[in-house]
A and B are shown apart, each in its own frame.
Chain A
C-alpha cells in the first residue's frame, strides 16, 4: 500500500461529492487529521505476504442462491404503505424538486 497516507483537502472534497455529503470547513480540517491516523494504522497490512492468496468476498460457502420466478409476492406494499414515510408526495408519486 504505497499510496499516500494523508488525504489533501481537495481529495476530501471529492470524496464528499462522491458520497453526496456536505462538509463544513471545520469538518474537512478535522477529517484530514483523523483520516491520516486511520490510514496510518491500516498500513500494517503491508507486513503480511498476500501474493497468490484469493480474496474472500463471502465468508459463507454458498453459491447459486436464487428464487423461482412467479413466486407469490407476500411482501408487496400498497401505494399508501410505500408513501407512508414521507411528506413529499402527491398523486401517488414521490415528489422532489425538479431534476435537470
Chain B
C-alpha cells in the first residue's frame, strides 16, 4: 500500500480496518527518516525502537519527553534527560501515539530560522539552500518532507505559523491557555502556545482533540470545554471574513497576490469578505519584544548548571542578547517605562481585536512578509526574528488563535502561507475555514508538490 502523503487520520482508519499495521507504519517512517534526515537535519533524536500499537508523532525538542534526550537545541542541555513527560506528550501517549523523535529548533525557541540551533541548521525541504523558518523549523521540515505525519511545535511569536508558511504545511497556534504548557521548556510564559503541524487540517483537529483542555499542572489553562473539532469540520459554514489593510504593508508582492487569490476564492465560495481596520502590527512587535525578552530573562535564570545541564557560559549569542535586554526592561527604574507600558499597550491590542471580532468571524492576511530566505541572509535583517514574525505577533500578544495554511508558491517555487486569525477559543471556526480551503483548492497544489522530491 502506498503510504506517501497520507494523513494521520487516514493512517489511523487503515490501522483500525486492519489494512495496514502499526508496525508497517513504524517501518515506513523509520526508512524515510534514515533516508532523508541527514540531508535535512529535521530530527535531532530518533526513537529507534518500535512502540507496539501506536502511531508516530514528532515533538519539537523543547517538549520534555521522559527518559528521552531534550535539549531545546541548546548546548546548555546537551545531555539533559527529563524524568517526566510534558502534559501534551502524556496526552498523546495515552491516545495511541508514541514519540517518534525530537525535532530541531532555534535554541530556546529564539528565532525565526532554526539557525540559532546549537546542532546545525535545518534545511528547507523545498530548497536546501534556504531556511525552513522557525523556531519550529525541524517540525515543519519533518512534516513537509513527510518524515512524520504530524509534528508538535510551540508558537510564542509565530514559531509554528512562520515555519509552516515557509515549508508549505498547515500549523495552528491555539488560543493561549487552550493547551497545557506543563513540560514545555518555557520561553515567554504569557505567550507560549503548544500546537500541531501537519499536511492536513483534519490531522490538526485530531491532535487538538487529544491535547486541548484544562491541566491541573498548568494554572493558566482554561476550563472552557473542548469542542469536537473533528465534527465541526464536517459542517462547513459561511463566514464573515475580515481583511486588514495594515497587514499587507511591507509584504512581498507575490505573497500578496497569492493571498488575494485565496481570498477571492473564498468570496466565490460564498463567504462575506469585509475590509477591517486593525492596529498596525508594528506596535505588537514592540510589545512582544519587551514582554518576551523580560519573560525569557526570567525563565532562563534556572539554568545554572547545578542540578542539570551545563553552566551559563554555554548560552549562545541570541540567548544572551535576549536575556540581557529582558533584564534591562525589568530593571529598577525601567520597569514602568518598558514592561509596564508594554502590558498596557497589550490591553489596547486585545481591545482592538475584540472590537473587530464583533463584526467578523475570522481575519485573514499574509503570514510572513517574505518567503524562505537563503541561508546566510539572516544577518541582513536587523532584529531579524521579530521582523520576520511581525504579522504573527499581534495574535500572539492578544493570545488569540491563528493558523497558517499554504495558498500558493512564488516564482522560486517557495511556499506562501495565509494566516487565519480567530477569536478566543474559536479554533473551530479557523479549522472550519482552513478545511474548506483544503477541500476546495487542495492548497492550490502546494503540499503534495514537494513530496515528489522525497519518494519512498
Residues in A lying within 8 Å of B, measured CB to CB: 1-3, 7, 11-12, 15-16, 18-23, 27, 31, 34-35, 37-38, 41-45, 48, 50, 53-60, 62, 65, 67, 75, 77, 81-82, 84-86, 88, 94, 96
- Does more than half of chain A's interface fall in helix, strand or loop, or is it mixed? loop
Chain A residues whose CB sits within 8 angstroms of the CB of B315 once the complex forms: 21
Contact across chains for B331 and A18 when beta carbons are under 8 A apart: yes
The verdict on B30 contacting chain A, using a C-beta distance below 8 Å, is no
B185 within 8 Å of A (CB atoms) = no
Apart from A19-B297, A56-B350, list 15 A-B contacts with CB within 8 A: A16-B324, A18-B331, A21-B324, A37-B382, A38-B383, A44-B286, A54-B344, A54-B347, A55-B343, A59-B177, A60-B221, A60-B399, A85-B81, A85-B307, A96-B306
Flag if B84 contacts A75 (CB, 8 Å).
yes
Interface contact A21-B383, CB-CB below 8 Å: no
8 contacts between A and B (CB under 8 A): A1-B341, A15-B324, A41-B383, A42-B290, A57-B343, A59-B346, A59-B399, A77-B83
**At the interface, yes or no: B112 with Cβ under 8 Å from chain A?**
no
Q: How far is the CB of B324 from chain A (nearest CB, A)?
A: 5
Q: State the main secondary structure of chain B at its contact with A.
A: helix
The CA-CA distance from A96 to B334 in the complex, in Å, is 34
Chain B contacts for A18, CB-based, 8 A: 327, 331
B254 at the interface (CB under 8 A from A): no
Question: Is B220 an interface residue, CB under 8 A from the partner?
Answer: yes
Question: Among the listed A2, A58, A86, which residue makes an inter-chain contact with B307, where contact means beta carbons less than 8 Å apart?
Answer: A86
Task: Determine whether B398 belongs to the interface, using a CB cutoff of 8 Å to chain A.
Answer: yes
Interface string of B87-107 (1 = CB under 8 A from A): 000000000000000000000
Using C-beta atoms within 8 Å of the partner chain, give the interface range for chain B.
35 or more
Q: Which residue of chain B is the closest to A1 with respect to CB atoms? A: B337
Least CB separation from B77: chain A residue: A85
Q: Contact between A45 and B80 (Cβ–Cβ < 8 Å)? A: no
Q: Known interface pairs A37-B383, A60-B177. Does A45 touch B312 (Cβ–Cβ under 8 Å)? A: no
Q: A22, A56, A86: which has the most chain B beta carbons within 10 Å?
A: A56
The 5 nearest A-B residue pairs measured at CB: A59-B399, A85-B308, A55-B343, A60-B177, A42-B286
Q: Give the residue of B222, B286, B346, B398 whose beta carbon is less than 8 angstroms from that of A41.
A: B286
Q: Which residues of A contact B346 (CB under 8 A)?
A: 55-56, 59
Chain B proximity of A31: nearest CB distance (Å): 6
Tally A-B pairs: CB < 8 A. Answer: 131
The smallest beta-carbon distance between A10 and chain B, in angstroms, is 13
A20-B304, A59-B176 known; A48 and B345 CB under 8 Å? yes
Tell me whether A44 and B320 are in contact in the complex, defined as CB-CB below 8 angstroms, given that A19-B327, A62-B219, A85-B307 are known contacts: no
Q: Are B307 and A45 in contact (CB under 8 A)?
A: no
Shortest C-beta distance, B341 to chain A (Å), equals 6
Q: Give which listed residue, A16, A42, A84, contacts B289 with CB less than 8 A.
A: A42
Q: Which of B300-354 contact A (CB under 8 A)?
A: 301, 304, 306-309, 312-313, 315, 317, 320-321, 323-325, 327-328, 331, 334, 337-338, 340-348, 350
**In the complex, are the beta carbons of A21 and B323 less than 8 A apart?**
yes
A18 to B312, CA, bound (A): 13
Q: Which residues of A contact B217 (CB under 8 A)?
A: 75
Partner of A58, one of B220, B287, B345: B220
Q: B residues within 8 Å of A by Cβ? A: 79-81, 83-84, 176-177, 190, 216-217, 219-222, 282-283, 285-287, 289-290, 297, 301, 304, 306-309, 312-313, 315, 317, 320-321, 323-325, 327-328, 331, 334, 337-338, 340-348, 350, 382-383, 398-399
CA gap between A34 and B383 in the complex, in Å: 8
Given known contacts A58-B190, A59-B176, A60-B176, A45 and B324 CB-to-CB distance under 8 angstroms? no
Kindly identify which residue among A31, A44, A86 contacts B324, using a CB–CB cutoff of 8 Å.
A31
* Chain B residues with CB under 8 A of A54: 344, 347
**For residue B304, which residues in chain A have a CB less than 8 angstroms away from its CB?**
20
B345→A15 contact, CB < 8 A: no
In whole angstroms, how far apart are the Cα atoms of A60 and B215 in the complex?
Answer: 14
Residues in A whose Cβ lies below 8 Å from that of B307: 82, 85-86, 94
State the CA gap A56–B397 with chains docked (Å).
10
Q: Would B328 and A48 count as touching, CB distance under 8 A?
A: no
Return chain B residues, CB-CB under 8 Å to A7. Answer: 328
Q: Give Cα distance in the complex from A12 to B304, angstroms.
A: 20
What's the least CB distance linking B369 to chain A, in Å? 15
Q: Which of B283, B301, B309, B398 has the most CB of A within 10 A?
A: B283
Q: A21-B320, A41-B286 are in contact. Are A53 and B399 (CB under 8 A)?
A: no
A79 smallest CB distance to B (angstroms): 12
User: With A81-B83, A84-B83 as given contacts, are A38 and B337 in contact (CB-CB < 8 Å)?
Assistant: no
Instruction: With A21-B315, A59-B350, A77-B83 as known contacts, state yes or no: A3 contacts B222, CB within 8 Å.
Output: no
Q: Which residue of B is nearest A95, CB measured?
A: B306
User: Known contacts A44-B286, A45-B342: does B220 contact A60 (CB below 8 Å)?
Assistant: yes
Query: Quick check: A53 and B348 within 8 Å, CB to CB?
Result: yes
Instruction: Report the bound CA distance from A37 to B177 in whole Å.
Output: 33
| Given A59-B190, A77-B83, A81-B83: A22 and B222 interface contact (C-beta under 8 Å) | no
